[in-house]
Chain A
Amino acid sequence: MQLILGVIALWLVLGIAGVFFPRNLLLVSRVLFPAGALGALLLAAAALDALGGEIQSRVLPLGLPDLPFHLRLDALSAFFLLLLGAVTAGISVFAAGYFRRGEGTPPGLQCLYYHLFIASMALVLLADDAYAFMVFWETMALSSYFLVTSDHAKAEIRRAGFLYLLIAHVGAIGILLCFGLLHGSGDYTFDNMRAVQLAPVAATVAFALALFGFGAKAGMLPLHVWLPEAHPAAPSPVSALMSAVMLKTAIYGLLRVLFDLLHTQVWWWGVVILVLGLATALYGVVFSAVQSDMKRLLAYSSIENIGFILVGIGLAVIFQSYGMRALAALALTAALYHAINHAYFKSLLFLATGSVLHATRERALGKLGGLIHRMPWVAWLALVGTLAIAGLPPLNGFVSEWLMLQAFLFTPNLPHPYLNMLIPVAAAAIALATALAGYVMVKFYGVVFLGQPREPSLASAHDAGTWERAGLVWLAAGCIALGIAPVAVIGVIDSVTGQLLGKTLGASATGWMFLTPIGPERASYAPLLFLLGILAVWLLTWLAVRRFYHGRVRRAPPWDCGFPAQTARMQDTAEGFGQPIRQVFEPFFRMQRELPTPFDAAPRYRVSVEDHLWYWLYLPLARVTNALTRVVTLLQRGRISVYLMYSFVTLLVLLLFVR
């Protein structure tokens, strides 16, 4: 606990140091950010140490009089702190090489917001009373708002930032009301909330408010609209941090309320989370397939992954409410495993897009291509992230997918007939979403890194610098390690499931190499053997081909069915690659097409794909709000005598009531 608080204090000091030297890029990037990364590593180590240990509490004499900050470090907090520290270490090292002069906010201020952001996230995870939680939660939202709008000279970035801030606050209201219900008649410490027994109706309302509030932060449908706007607007390390860690604090909050502060779980809460999670996952992945901006594509993919995590939580609630604790542990383990996986591969990919952005000044997929030749480091490391996020063995994305499918597959008969029908349909939807994720990632990687450069300016693209490479290598190594050592990772997650569900998964019955969550005869998976098998066959084939045949290679122009006038513009664009998805999932989109006629002198093809929810939900809501505001403005007369009269009338009415 001391060490963790020390690291948080270090971050705050580093941030404040940045304010004093706002334009000293050398100091900020060579001293402050690397020191922050070192702190993050320490934090991860301390959190790992605290995972198996006892619950530690502490009261900080800060805040309002009589309202000190209560902090508590238990297994759930420690797990998310571990995630925060391990991923932030890589992102901070990358950021050391990333921030430049002349890109919006000066580097020193950037450093302040950045470190304030990570410190507030760490404190959110530690908070043990509603007051401290909300203070840190709002600090997190505000500091990240300033990071998102760091390029505030552009109008669309200010707009994205406003949308983000708006939805963050609408969500915060939900969380605040939820705590208001949970505390019963006592004080606002979480200890008191744990002791309060709520009536079923009140508990359900509290659950709904928590799901709304934390769902808004996590990007759950239909509150996801800020995510594809805010993530591309932010500088890449910040997008990585928001996607990898901030979305997970929302998951943390949901788990804290569901399994810790509320005592009982009702089965249909699980169904609500499961269905919303499925909808979020499918919606996110389908939209991500039709994007033509690489960061928007990744942002939609984050929505999909959050949906996946929610599905795991929903299943865990269903199983826990029926007392099937072993299966609940399996589903929750899958969700937590996916949370940490997503943190690693998504930050890796966001940082890779940052390097591409710096090298080419281009975010549109349609103007990239062929970067594997110019930026081999970024390209090969991004390939690891691409394969991992597509859920392919033996990398980490596959492990959580595997665990999740096992949870579906070994669902025994639930006492509810409709639930029994929901389970296979949900499994099918998850399988479909994962397969679509593969489609999206092939599109992303193929269009950005492979093929021919679509613009002549790409010939001058340069590879990432040393700091950036180091950050990317750290995250890619994490993807591989999480993929091939699942038993060790589940050993870490077990302390969380033990705390929340009172039951651990116990990942292996037959040694560290085999992942056998239910029993070796039911299912087992050994990623290390798998990897070794592939590599062995690969090597043997290569040696055999070399041994028995020649290794001659001749370079020639591409064949392409003998077509000689091949140009880079004949490759698939991002829009072209997404076209089958646009066609198959047409009802999902609000599409506007503009097609040229055969006789157009200057033919133009345009297609715009938008979200139905904007038109069905948000714009009507905005109109209603505007109409209500107009009613309120009737009060505004702009004359002081009228306002004085209002005060007088109010006083009269109040006196009438008080007497």
Chain B
Amino acid sequence: MVAFVSTVAFEGIEAKPVDVQVQISSGMPAFLVVGLPDKAVNEAKERVRAALVASGLSLPPKRIIINLAPADLPKEGSHYDLPIALGLMAAIGALPSDGIAGYTVLGELSLDGSISSVAGVLPAAIAANARGHGLICPKADGPEAAWASADLDILAPVSLIQLANHLKGTQTLSRPRPGLREPTSDLPDLREVKGQESAKRALEIAAAGGHNLIMVGPPGSGKSMLAARLPSILPPLEPQELLELAMIRSVAGDLAGGALSDRRPFRAPHHSASMAALVGGGIRPRPGEIALSHHGVLFLDELPEFQPNVLDALRQPMETGNVVVARANHRITYPARFQLIAAMNPCKCGKAGEPGHVCARGVRCAQDYQARLSGPLLDRIDLHLDVPAVTAADLLLPAPSEGSREVAARVAAARALQQVRYQAMGATGRTNSAVSATLIEAAAAPDSAGMRLLRDAAEAMKLSARGYHRVLKVARTIADLDGEERVGRIHLAEALSYRTLVDRVPLAA
């Protein structure tokens, strides 16, 4: 007899439906799994056998064939244990076979018959909901699955026995509740940064428009400190954004306890990061750091210390907002609309440009160090900021009266303006940095004085076409922070003042 159970296979953050077909027939006794299983799926045999024995069942000495259909789609991961076990239980009559029809099942089995958590439950739950199925998942992942839909039927059992009892009607499982992480107020506050008023202003602009920002300054000037305080002034995630991010994190196995947080992600990978770690990929493809910082911040400290090819791999995702990982055997798209915040020293010793500092290696030191960054990458960074060293006099000042809360309120107001404007224009982007060039030309058309300044500056600074639009976007954000309808001369002037590094690099080369 043949039993059928539905489950999923993951392709990027997409869950493709997979049918587990279990056939038990007489013939040479054997237990075979076919349908392109990888090692973890093939080993499911031993876990399933042990879990069934622990649950008081045993496999009949017959020919057992498990087919994972469609047979040409590679199956990876340990979440096939539970569907295989349920299929076997239905085939030997230990479960009513109509009990599991209409459910999408995933979960890993322990040898004692308990069900342990797996990655990717949220995308699976959303796929199940789209197919009109219910979901059977491990107990630990229930809160995560409950996010998919309020009326999705979810069973989150602890063990095979509990699930069997529920399906037979002798015990009832309650629906898990969606988990939300308690909002924590342990974020570092902008108030702790003394001095650096221009840097704080740039950080506020970056937060308000979702712009990329690079900070250049000597060691100890507070670059990393400023970057760490960016999450505290960013607005919380919108529900749609939260779900998109949660899908990526779920596939990466990064959602502990299924509790979602509306805090924007802040990822700070070390500069030894490889291309696959940052962009995504690997033999079993996993989302990289840029996908995990979707709708949030990717902070790259010591930017020139990253491998140049790794940095240049960021160029395309920074423009398109997603990354396509194409390999011989798979092709996966991860969303990656992240905000890049970078920090670097001006030279190897870190003190170039300081008043009174004379480097033994001369000007070349700073030039060589900064030339490690490619022009195209810098061209994609809207805000270039010099962060000078903090003087002792700054540290003696009383703490600034303005903290993260006040700045966050202004940022939220500016973002609200943008959202209303771009929704009215029918755009998909929500922030100035995310909209297309034609839209920003319409939204940020400067007044006549501003137009004149922009024309002169574009010629003097040799702005690229992209650079031109980036200046417009930053100017639009500054105007939004001021609550201005129109982009004026002062907004453009400030925006242009943040594009210093692009000019510096051609000089250095």
Q: Is the A/B pair a real complex? A: no
Residues of B within 8 A of A (CB): none
Residues of A within 8 A of B (CB): none
